[in-house]
Structure 1
């Protein structure tokens, strides 16, 4: 009976694609790195503006859905109650969408922008620091969360309104694809989604283990080596594997709640004992600058970089396109997960809950962690940029925490947060992948299926860590996200088409009845 539940063609296709990519990278790491960088060059130089425009279009589309009559639709029957309380729902939504990456980039991202600012601004200048404090809010803000919310609309509608027991991206595209959903086209969409998650998700894991390793090295002197990072990755895999095996209520919800409380404790502590006035004022100023330049930042792509009088910075390709590709990679999985936990909520609640809770969460992290780190650099208390350049980002991140009172406790909480953030993102990821490779989902995916994909998620990050380099990791996300670029618009179109068809059908039935 259980064997019939699994869609073995999709399961095997995704696994085969994973092995097809992973094995050559293991055997030929240097050549594999060159191939990945070459693919990145093609995608970013020729198609970078496509990533930028799709991101803005998705946000505008989602806002339209939220304020229109579509927002009134409830995911479930009229008397359906929320499956999760709003606090737990917001916690799962936020932690599934950002992972440990927000701890990594929240502390240190401004430093990269300060040294390599956008718009041809002079590195290290006053204007550079203003843009440096702004771009983190933009890259992790409304457009990112809009991309996450798009897949939640058709999936949630199909699962809770139309009572479909198929939990696949291809099924959500059925209103547009029609009969082709049941052919190789539909299966290819599911496989590409899974591969994109495995590849892009691997980037997040590969960035996370070094932070935990650096923290343990500072606390108890464990050598910060590749072996240590690999053991940490294996340990985290076991944690989120157990959580995914336990299911939504016992595993993922509990971890998300714990994580949210730990995060609030750490952020409140840093805000209280750190440069409170500087954090408050710089955060407010950065938000204002982002709002004032939102459309410019959304579509800036250095169109004049080939002219002799202009210097090409590579900023939009290296950062904004990277982030949009990363969010696109995560979008189907986070959207599927948001849909799964949003039973009983309206489309409007899903839309604005995702954008508002998600953006507010990232504002807190970047505003407090990033501006605290920036203050240490500008005031001369700690050489953040020098440490970053000479010893790497993990050392710089942990170094900023050592400047806090009770620094050992702060680092312990930070390491715990990094571990649990890692777990909450990837246990929800394995949960969703397991759902996709099943023909039907009754309640929750099979336990062994969830556990298998939790373990599979750790394969590529192990390889990526050995390949090394931030540029390589960014590149892998961009290349992995490209095949999914067209899927988001199809999902949005599917939702509108599906709702309109059901409404027309209902109106015809009401006319016949009268």
Structure 2
């Protein structure tokens, strides 16, 4: 047990935890002022860096296509004798339940309304068509290129280079070399950790209120805020438990969630009356 604790990078654990608790305390204590400043930051980033973000997205898309169709696409992410551990269907279900299922609850209903409120779309002659067009940028091949390049980098690191230290900085070692062992590696890992926390918080903040409202409607619970916190704790506990149990357990859970999702879609299609 002591050896396992010694292997933990406590700097990468404590700083994000302290940061999350600090930011949560500030947001809870000063909700109105926090919302004001966050809106200012978001407006500044949209106005100044939207074009840069699009360039980065196009770069990742082109990089994904090049990696797939060039000689690098022939590199097997594993030993020459390795066989796929799971079928394409299982991998597809794992990808679906890890990145899309929660977002569909929220975005499928009102994503176009969010885009319709943006200043650069409000001025267009047909707001509905433009807002739906930007939805394709969110769900089309460009956004998937971000996931693809990161997955390929990690797969190469783990199964080809045989580097078992699962840090984001380790995936950059072929480019940065020994700098990864110093402050540069720490900064990369901290940025990646905070990005993951922010992405998870965004998903929860958008999908959980809708889920809590539905559960509250079914069971007659009126305290939606408390119910949201309870549901978040349940979801985190479930996924944490299955992650510790390993890929087989996670595959089983993903298949179960996907089955329920297909059942829900079939119910809506056949019995919703629309």
Same fold (TM over 0.5): yes
Residue matched to 1:255: 253
* 20 and 228 in structure 1: CA distance in 2 versus 1, 3 angstrom threshold: closer
**Whole-Å separation in 1 of the counterparts to 2:114 and 2:43:** 20
Please report how far the alpha carbon of residue 28 of structure 1 lies from its aligned counterpart in structure 2 after TM superposition: 2.9
Measured in 1, the distance between the counterparts of 2:121 and 2:42 equals 20
Count matched residues: 271
Check whether the contact 1:106–1:136 (CA below 8 A) recurs between aligned residues: no
Written as runs of structure 1 = structure 2, the 5 A alignment for 1:157-306 is: 157-223=156-222, 225-250=224-249, 252-271=250-269
> Quick one: which of 6, 9, 21 aligns to 1:4?
6
Which one has more relative contact order, counting CA pairs under 8 Å at least 6 apart? 1
Alignment partner of 1:100: what SS? helix
Structure 1 match to 2:25: 23
* Alignment correspondent of 1:105: 107
Q: 1:85 aligns with which of 71, 84, 87?
A: 87
Q: Distance in 2 between matches of 1:138 and 1:21?
A: 30
- 1:115 and 1:12 map into 2 onto residues whose CA distance is 38
The superposition leaves residues 349-395 of structure 1 with CA deviations (integer Å, 9 ceiling, x where unpaired) of xxxxxxxxxxxxxxxxxxxxxxxxxxxxxxxxxxxxxxxxxxxxxxx
1:499 matched residue in structure 2: none
Match of 2:36 among 29, 34, 37: 34
Partner Cα distance (1:210, 1:65) in 2? 40
Q: How does 1:36-435 map to 2 (within 5 A)?
A: 36-113=38-115, 118=121, 120-122=123-125, 127-223=126-222, 225-250=224-249, 252-271=250-269, 404-405=272-273
Instruction: Report the Cα offset of residue 90 of structure 1.
Output: 0.9
Distance of 1:221 and 1:121 partners within structure 2: 43
Distance in structure 1 (CA, Å) of the matches to 2:182 and 2:117: 49
What is the CA-CA distance between 1:147 and the residue it aligns to?
0.7
Residue 245 (structure 1) shift: 2.9
In structure 2, C-alpha distance between the alignment counterparts of 1:245 and 1:206, rounded to whole Å? 25
Partner of residue 423, structure 1: none
Q: Deviations over 1:247-274 (max 9, x none)?
A: 2211x2112111222222333444456x
The answer for unaligned runs of 5 or more in structure 1 is 274-403, 408-514
What CA distance in whole angstroms lies between the structure 2 residues aligned with 1:35 and 1:16?
A: 21
SS in 1 for 2:235: helix
Deviation at 1:148, TM superposition (A): 0.9
Q: TM-score, normalised by structure 1?
A: 0.49
Query: The residue matched to 2:121 in structure 1 has which SS?
Result: coil
Structure 2 Cα separation of the partners of residues 135 and 266 of structure 1: 27
